[in-house]
Amino acid sequence: MVEGLLKKIEDGKFEFVDIKFTDIRGAWRHITLPADKFTEKTLTDGIGIDGSSVGFLSVKAGDMIVKPDPSFHFIDPFWQMPVMSVVGDIYEVNPTEPHARDPRFTASKAIKRLHKILPGAEAVMGPEFEFYLFDEVRYEQGPNHGSYFVDSDEAEWSSAKEGKVNLGHHVRHKDGYHAAPPLDKTYEIRAQICRLLKEAGLDVKYHHHEVGGAAQQEIETSFGPLLEMADKSQLAKYLIKNAAVKLGKSATFMPKPLSMEPGSGLHVHQYLARDGNSIFYDDKKPFNLADMGRYYLGGLLRHAPALLAFTSPSTNSFRRLVPGYEAPVRICYSVGNRTAAVRIPGYIKDPAVMRVEFRPSDGTANIYFAFAAMLMAGLDGIENKIDPGEPFNRDVSSVAAADSLKCPLLPASLSRALEALEADVGFLRRDDVFSSQLIDTWLQLKYDEVEQVRSRPHPWEFRLYYDT
């Protein structure tokens, strides 16, 4: 593998090798080497970085190293010169050992725990990428002012816009699902993005316009092993955002950038497999879901409030998780119903991919932590045979009070999700998958975000309270 990567770099006449690694919040960082400086020694010894500057907060020192992983690399399409990109892992120094807060290391430990409980099993993940493509984005916040402005030529609000040729084709409010041209003005952009994804090794299943009238998009890729799909998810977001900029647009995975329009989620299909076949399938059980799948689902539901601290880890996440927009608000599962926290897709025909779908997650998640946390919840369900009960197949966003105990509410804010994590952290701590240092640092970072938002006035509060 090492020799193969080095040969690719040499044969392809690459000028630079770009090492990309994920910080604790989930964003890619990078460091670039001339190709002739990227050697086998680079792969074994790594490159020094200041870990404290990217949120890793080592208890020993700021000095850390990033070690490239030759198993995941791609040709970066956005550089003018030939550049090979390689994903890396974060290590402590003296002694050299994996850093407890490194996202890829955490995901690897979750996989190791899976193999301990179910030897030979593989965790398979399949995320759906939802995002908006805007034509203009402005925002600012000061002590005496605060504003944001986003614009989309495709949106209904642009129907009377002057200053440019306006042909009248605009997507109506919340009416963009599978919209066709000329309403869908972004199909060529999606197609170009999908071409880039394919060239980088991501298998695209389909793409389409989503519900949001202001150019909301969805691209879905094929399923794959947990760590591979986490890497590919990072790559997909990188390609989508940079391709959008190159094409004069701004792509955002922010869960709720618009009032009164649907938010963007990152729904995650998932199952456990052996020999390429889902072990969640049993045609003798209701919904064809084997006991193993039911228990896994039960674990997701049992730990859903705590999971949201990793799968929906922004204050903005909870502006999406509200009734009326097909977003989940209650802890229950259904068959085909998209308003439940966990869904068994009703269209599954292939037993090999029998799965469940966790719907609260969104693009602000650190994808490695999110995948690992969901797997740990599912494994806890399997170990403790947690029964998820019966499915709830009505619209749970308007569930009657008499049924509310069957479907308790998900946390309604990031602070509530963080409190749930503090109260229910044991399933994540098993085998030190989520280290105590990681949990403590995550809570500190996220409570700080809560305070940043909580301590600033919101524009709508002026309408509600200015004249009191």
Q: What residues pair up with 274 in beta bridges, in sequence order?
A: 277
Name the phi and psi angles at 94, rounded to 5.
55, 70
- What is the b/e burial string over 302-330, where b = at least 16 CB atoms within 10 angstroms of the residue's CB? bbbbbbbbbbbbbbbbbbbbeeebbbbbb
* Annotation marks residue 359 as catalytic: yes
Name the phi and psi angles at 466, rounded to 5.
-60, -35
Q: Which position among 18, 359, 362, 380 bears the catalytic label?
A: 359
Name 33's Cβ contacts closer than 8 Å, sequence gap at least 6: 16, 17, 18, 19, 42, 47
Structure tokens given for 205: 């299943």
Q: Which position among 92, 102, 128, 362 bears the catalytic label?
A: 128
* Annotation marks residue 338 as catalytic: yes
* Annotation marks residue 50 as catalytic: yes
Structure tokens given for 425: 């952290």
Q: Which position among 23, 69, 218, 231 bears the catalytic label?
A: 218
Q: Which position among 23, 102, 184, 210 bears the catalytic label?
A: 210
Q: How many CB atoms lie within 10 A of CB 276?
A: 9
Residue 73, classed as helix, strand or coil, is: strand
Q: Which position among 104, 267, 294, 320 bears the catalytic label?
A: 267
* Annotation marks residue 130 as catalytic: yes
Long-range CB contact pairs, 40-48, < 8 A, 24+: 40/2, 40/6, 42/68, 43/2, 43/5, 43/67, 43/68, 43/70, 46/88, 46/91, 46/96, 47/19, 47/88, 48/93
Give the separation between CA 49 and CA 63, rounded to whole angstroms.
6
Q: Which position among 29, 30, 195, 338 bears the catalytic label?
A: 338
Identify whether the C-beta of residue 65 lies closer than 8 Å to the C-beta of residue 50: no
Q: Which position among 92, 130, 184, 282 bears the catalytic label?
A: 130
Q: What residues pair up with 146 in beta bridges, in sequence order?
A: 141
Give the separation between CA 13 and CA 7, rounded to whole angstroms.
10
Q: Which position among 40, 50, 136, 188 bears the catalytic label?
A: 50
* Annotation marks residue 357 as catalytic: yes
Give the separation between CA 221 and CA 207, rounded to whole angstroms.
9
Q: Which position among 92, 357, 362, 380 bears the catalytic label?
A: 357
Catalytic residue list? 50, 128, 130, 210, 218, 267, 338, 357, 359
